[in-house]
Structure formats: C-alpha cells, structure tokens
C-alpha cells in the first residue's frame, strides 16, 4: 500500500474512533467499512466492527468479525482478547478460555485478560485458579477496580470475609463511584454482623445504581437486623416489584411482615 493510501486509511480510522468513543456507532461503522474497502485485512477495523456489532446486540456477527480479525492477524492480542471476552460475556467459557490464554501468550502483561480468566474461574467455582488470575491482573494493573471486586467475591466465597472486605475497599478506592462494589462490601459487612456499616454501603450503592436489586435487598436485611421493620419491608416490596419472579424476594418480604406481626 502506498504511503499516501496508508495515511488516508489511518485518518479515517482516527475519525471513526472519535465517533465510536462518542457513541455514534452508525457513523463509526460506515467509516470502518470504508477502511475495509481500501484494505480488507485491516485488523483494527475488523475488531472495531465486531465491537460495534456486540454493542448493538448482534452477537453472531460480532464474533464473525473478530474471528476474521484473528485469522488475518494471529499475533493480534487485541483480536484474541476481544473474541475471548465476548465469548465470556455470552457464557461460552470453554470457547473463551483458549482465546484469552492466547492473548496472554502474546501479551503476558494484559491485565484485562487475566481478569477475564479470573472471572470465568470464579463463575466455575474454581476459586484458587480465580484468585491466581485476579492476582496477576492486579500485579499488572494495581489500580484495576474490577479485578479487586472479583477477587473480593472469590475471597468471600472462601469465607475470608476480612480479606474480601479489604479487596472491595480497594476497588472503591480506585473507582469511588463503583456502585456494585459498594453493594458487595455492604453484603460482606452484613455477614460479619456489622449492620450499621453495611447499611451505609447499601445506601451508597443504591445512590449510584438506583435499581441495584442486591443492594436494595441487602439494605432490607440490614434494616431488619437493626429492628427497623417498616423500612425493611419497604425495601423488600421494592425488590418484589423489580423481580416479581424471585422466590427469595417474596420470602424475605413475608418473613419481615411476620416479624412485624402482619
């Protein structure tokens, strides 16, 4: 490719990326396709088209773009990582793991790939493997809030509540508006019997994520532990309204009403 054509392609990529970052997905897609018209094997454009399709809910097409990118450039850690990540998000763990491992062979320092592997192992209940992968993620990126949150979950599942609390607190320290981590921290504190401290974290979680069902339910349990039954019932009623099919929510509400005396 002539230097002038290469420069033109990169200029289009730059503008497409600006549209993409601003959420103008249709405009970005048009430009990435223009790049492929000029250079059918442009790995970056293939990856970004996959990302756009995934953002738009077109999962099969997204995976097709990313498989094509990985075929065009087997040494692209970005292509193999994104392919593995989207497969992970779809719950296709057996397919995701080889791609994530390949991305780490190409870029051993990629914290996001270590975190994604850790998240898979966590979902599979392979807690030692999860902790090892999440530790690697944090070693390569000491400010990685998602990895601290996932590590906290793994530690909590092992019954190591103090270590889990420290990990959730680290996640919040690195991302002060991390609503999900506040909810996790509240639950861990509640499990330790610290209802007042838990209540404060649940309130902050709900402030950041208003329909965060786990935090609303957790707040209900904290309020119930503190004897504030009317407020607890209001929380459980809200959970039931949000997830009426959840038997546990119905049970929590019934138990709180019984404790109040009807």
What is the reported pLDDT for 165?
98
What span, in angstroms and rounded, lies between the C-alpha atoms of 77 and 69? Answer: 10
What are 3-36's pLDDT values in tens digits? 667 788 888 888 988 999 899 999 999 998 988 8
- Checking if the pLDDT of 37 tops 80, the result is yes
pLDDT tens per residue across span 132-143: 999 999 999 999
Domain range for 91: 1-108
What are the tens digits of pLDDT across the range 102-159?
999 999 999 999 999 999 999 999 999 999 999 999 999 999 999 999 999 999 999 9
Residue 20 lies in a domain: yes
For residue 55, being part of any structural domain is answered with: yes
How many helices (H) does the chain have, and how many strands (E)?
A: 15, 0
CA distance 177 to 131: 24
pLDDT digits (tens, 9 = 90+) for 209-260: 999 999 999 999 999 999 999 999 999 999 999 999 999 999 999 999 999 8
Per-residue model confidence (pLDDT) at position 154: 98
* Residue whose tokens read 């004897």: 227
CA distances from 76 to 7, 52, 66, 81, 156 (A): 21, 18, 11, 9, 36
- pLDDT above 70 (res 262): no
- Quote the number of domains for the chain: 1
pLDDT of residue 1: 47
Assigned domain for 18 exists: yes
Alpha-carbon distance 113 to 101, whole Å? 8
> Residue 111 corresponds to which tokens in the numbers above?
């914290």
Whether the predicted pLDDT of 2 surpasses 80: no
pLDDT score of 148: 98
Query: 54-75, pLDDT tens digit by residue?
Result: 999 999 999 999 999 999 998 9
What pLDDT, on the 0 to 100 scale, is given for residue 3? 62
- State the CATH number of the domain containing residue 54: 1.25.40.10
Burial readout 32-60 (b: 16 or more C-beta within 10 A, e: otherwise): bebbbeebeebbbbbbbbbbbbbeeeeee
- CA gap 55, 105 in Å, rounded: 27
Q: Which residue has the tokens 């970004």?
A: 48
122 falls within a domain: no
């Amino acid at each position: 490719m002539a230097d002038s054509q290469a420069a033109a392609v990169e200029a289009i990529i730059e503008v497409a990326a600006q549209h993409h970052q601003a959420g103008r997905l249709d405009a970005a897609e048009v430009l990435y396709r223009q790049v492929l018209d000029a250079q059918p094997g442009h790995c970056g454009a293939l990856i970004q088209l996959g990302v756009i399709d995934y953002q738009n809910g077109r999962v099969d097409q997204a995976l097709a773009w990313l498989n094509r990118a990985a075929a065009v450039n087997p040494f692209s850690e970005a292509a193999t990582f994104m392919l593995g990540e989207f497969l992970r998000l779809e719950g296709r763990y057996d397919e995701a793991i080889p791609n994530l491992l390949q991305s780490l062979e190409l870029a051993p320092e990629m914290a996001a790939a270590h975190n994604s592997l850790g998240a898979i192992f966590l979902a599979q209940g392979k807690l030692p493997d999860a902790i090892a992968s999440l530790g690697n993620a944090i070693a390569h990126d000491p400010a990685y809030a998602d990895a601290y949150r996932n590590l906290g979950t793994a530690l909590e599942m092992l019954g190591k509540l103090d270590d889990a609390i420290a990990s959730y607190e680290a996640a919040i320290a690195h991302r002060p508006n991390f609503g999900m981590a506040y909810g996790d921290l509240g639950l861990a504190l509640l499990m330790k019997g610290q209802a007042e401290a838990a209540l404060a974290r649940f309130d902050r979680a709900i402030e950041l994520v208003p329909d965060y069902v786990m935090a609303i339910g957790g707040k209900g349990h904290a309020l119930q532990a503190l004897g504030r039954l009317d407020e607890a019932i209001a929380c459980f009623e809200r959970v039931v309204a949000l997830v009426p099919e959840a038997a546990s929510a119905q049970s929590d509400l019934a138990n709180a009403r019984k404790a109040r005396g009807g």
